[in-house]
Every structure is written in C-alpha cells, then in structure tokens.
Amino acid sequence: MSKARRKREKPISTGSIAFRIGLGSGLNLLLIFIVLDLVVLGILLLPDLKNGPGAAEITIDSFNALKALLREWKLDILLRLEGLLVVLWVLFETLRVRAKLSPLQEFADAALKLSEMDGEAEQRYQKLENAIDMLSPAEDDQKLATGDAELAGLETAVNKLMARMRDSYRQQARFVSDASHELRTPIAVIRGYADMLDRWGKTDEKILEESIQAIKDESESMQHLVEQLLFLARGDSGRVPLNISGFDLSEMMQEVWEESVMIDKAHDYRFESGGNIPVCGDISLLKQAARILIENASKYTPEGGEIMLKSLVADGHPAFSVQDSGIGISESDIPHIFERFYRADDSRSKQTGGSGLGLAIARWIVERHGGHFEIVSRKDIGTRITVILP
C-alpha cells in the first residue's frame, strides 16, 4: 500500500456558498424595486414637471423639494419597507439554499472524516496484508485472524473462500490419485500377461490365446476408463459444450430401448412410453446418461431379469426412469453412489467390471440440464433411478 499522504483539502463550506447566492438574489430584488420606484416617481411628478422648470435643471433646492414631497406623499415609508424586504429576502434565500445544500455538506464532512482516518486504515490494511501473507494454502486449520473487530466480516469471507479453495483442491488431488490407482491395475495386468507370453506363450498355445484375450479385454476397459476420466476432466474445466435442441423424450427412450434389446440378450427389456413429452436439451448427452443407468441395471441384475424403461411426466416435469430387478443398493450406499470411483462392496464382490465413474458422469450431465435424480432401491429386489428434468 502506498505510504504517500494525500494533501488535505480545505473542506467545502456550504454556508458561504448559500450566502453568496442569497445576496445575488437580494440584489436582483433591489434592482426591481428601484425600477418600480422610478416609474412611480415619474408618474407622480409628471404634472409638476410639465408646469415647472425642465428636468435638466434639477438643483439642490429641487432635490430638497423632492425629499419634502416624498415625505408629504409618505413615500419614505415605502422606501424603508423595500429596504427591509430586501434584507429579509437575502436572509431567507441564504437559509433556503443552505438547507438544499445540506446533503453536500454531509458528504464533505464524511470525506473529511475519511481522509482523517486514512492513517489508521493504512495501518489496518498493512496488518491484514501481513496476516494473509502468513497463511499457508495447504494447512487446513489455518485461519485468517488479526483480532481486529472491524475486520471480522472480511476475515470470515476470506476464511470461507480459503475453505472452498482447499476443498476443491482436495477433491482434485483425490481424483488424480484415484485415477492413477485405477489405471495402475490394468497396466499391471497387461504387463503380467505380456511376461507370461514372453515365457511360455511361444510354446503353449493355450497360454498364448488366454494372454491375447486378457490383454485385449484389459486395454479395452482401460480405454473406457480413460474416456470417462477425460469426460469428467473436460466437464470440470467447462469444456463440454451442450448442443441444445428440442426433441421428444419418449422417442429418445424408445431408441435407447431398441438399442439395449439388440446389444444385451441376457435381460428382458421393456419400455413404457408416457406419450409425447417435448423437452429441450442435449439429446446425445441425455442418451448417454440413460445408457449409464441401463448399463448398471444390466450389470447388477441376474440374467433373465426384467429391466423396465419409462418416459413420463412427474409432477409436471419431464422424466425418464430405469428400473431393474437386481441386487439393489443398501441405504447406506445410496448417498455415495454418485461420487467418483465409489462402488458398493456388493458390486465389487460380484466381480463385474466397472470404475465407479458411470453415475458421476450421469450426474454431471443431468445437473448441467438443471435436473436431478430420484432413487428407490431395495436390497435383492431391485432399483429404480428416475431422472427428472426441469
């Protein structure tokens, strides 16, 4: 902060400004009175001037005679009255203008006060600056505290901001570490099979085939994982654009249903249309969200189980749902299933492939559309996940 002292200006006084304006206005009134008086005088003197000597020959005598005349006509009282009126007018105008200018005076006073507080404020900011300098962004329990009561509000705001930044930093760090961990596993598997190939694959046909298949599978799932990670990373940095268009939600769900029937013969897919449901959104992203729900339903439902897709209007909102007859999700897992890399223990033990990123992606898509999820699930009975759009 600059230490240069600002030059103290003399404060404005609205009183003297008001007096000058009042005086000007009084002089105007005086001028009007003089003109009027001259006119009146002219009219009164007109008969005498006609008979008497010419106006050019007015002398001391005639001036005294005029004064006497004025007194006789009681005009001197009028003149005094006019003088009094002018004085009163100046006073009145001064007071009126001063009242009008009073906000300006307050403003000037406040500015003066502020400039007087300058030094004090400077010290305070210096203290605040030092306190901020001392903060370390990594240490969680560190808080900004100068002990100055007047800075308490500012401190709370800075502390809240720091907490949010630390939170997002922690999330990012966890994401990177989880992602590396997830990628390490398929790489280790591929290396293992490559070693096996190297040792025995040249002679043992069975090992050769097994290894090639495993390497193919692992690299495929790794590719899928990398694509999911890229999607979320792009989403985090705001680089997934939405291509908004109007379309029929029922048509979209029908297409996804037909696709599922074709790809997955192991389950009994049904579709119930809610009629024409016009929505605005990115159809390919919403389809992707529906596919993620269907993929889970299929993964966590025994072969032959029924999977019901629906398009519907829920409380006036367009919606679609995927209901399965699978293993269900325990109540304690439900709050976490949308977290990145979260997988319920049951799903892990089933040895189904998966990364725990599917629902995180679905949530990103749905939230970008301003929508939300509703989940109903019973252990060993099934799960229904509904996406409700605005």
Residue numbers at the binding site for ligand ADP (CB under 6 A): 296-297, 300, 324, 326-329, 337, 342-344, 347, 354-360, 383
Which of the listed partners (ligand ADP, Mg ion, none) does 321 bind, with a CB threshold of 5 to 8 Å by partner kind? none
Which of the listed partners (ligand ADP, Mg ion, none) does 186 bind, with a CB threshold of 5 to 8 Å by partner kind? none
Which of the listed partners (Mg ion, ligand ADP, none) does 337 bind, with a CB threshold of 5 to 8 Å by partner kind? ligand ADP
Q: Closer to Mg ion at the Cβ: 358 or 371?
A: 358
Binding mask 285-304 for Mg ion (x = CB under 5 A): -----------x--------
Which of the listed partners (ligand ADP, Mg ion, none) does 297 bind, with a CB threshold of 5 to 8 Å by partner kind? ligand ADP
Q: To the nearest whole angstrom, how small is the minimum distance from the Cβ of residue 351 to ligand ADP?
A: 11
> Using an 8 Å Cβ cutoff, are 231 and 361 in contact?
yes
| CA–CA distance, 195 with 187 (Å, rounded to integer) | 12
Q: Closer to ligand ADP at the Cβ: 201 or 354?
A: 354
Q: Residue 228, interface with Mg ion (CB under 5 A)?
A: no
Q: Closer to Mg ion at the Cβ: 318 or 358?
A: 358
Q: To the nearest whole angstrom, how small is the minimum distance from the Cβ of residue 355 to ligand ADP?
A: 5
Q: Closer to ligand ADP at the Cβ: 185 or 276?
A: 185
Q: Closer to Mg ion at the Cβ: 94 or 296?
A: 296
> Tokens in use for 84?
């009094």
Q: Residue 326, interface with Mg ion (CB under 5 A)?
A: no
CA distances from 326 to 44, 227, 269 (A): 119, 27, 13
Which of the listed partners (ligand ADP, Mg ion, none) does 298 bind, with a CB threshold of 5 to 8 Å by partner kind? none
Site for Mg ion in 18-77 (CB under 5 A): none
> Tokens in use for 325?
């007859």
Which of the listed partners (Mg ion, ligand ADP, none) does 260 bind, with a CB threshold of 5 to 8 Å by partner kind? none
Q: How many CB atoms lie within 10 A of CB 369?
A: 19
Q: State in Å, rounded, how far the first CA of the chain is from the last one.
A: 49
Burial class from Cβ neighbours inside 10 Å (0-12, 13-18, 19+) for residue 314 reads: middle
Q: To the nearest whole angstrom, how small is the minimum distance from the Cβ of residue 289 to ligand ADP?
A: 11
Half-sphere exposure of 388 (CA within 13 A, CB side): 10
Distance of CA 13 to the CA centre of its chain: 43
Q: To the nearest whole angstrom, how small is the minimum distance from the Cβ of residue 279 to ligand ADP?
A: 23
Q: To the nearest whole angstrom, how small is the minimum distance from the Cβ of residue 158 to ligand ADP?
A: 36
Which of the listed partners (ligand ADP, Mg ion, none) does 309 bind, with a CB threshold of 5 to 8 Å by partner kind? none
Site for Mg ion in 344-383 (CB under 5 A): 358
Q: Closer to ligand ADP at the Cβ: 253 or 357?
A: 357
Which residues in this chain contact Mg ion in the complex, by CB under 5 A? 296, 358
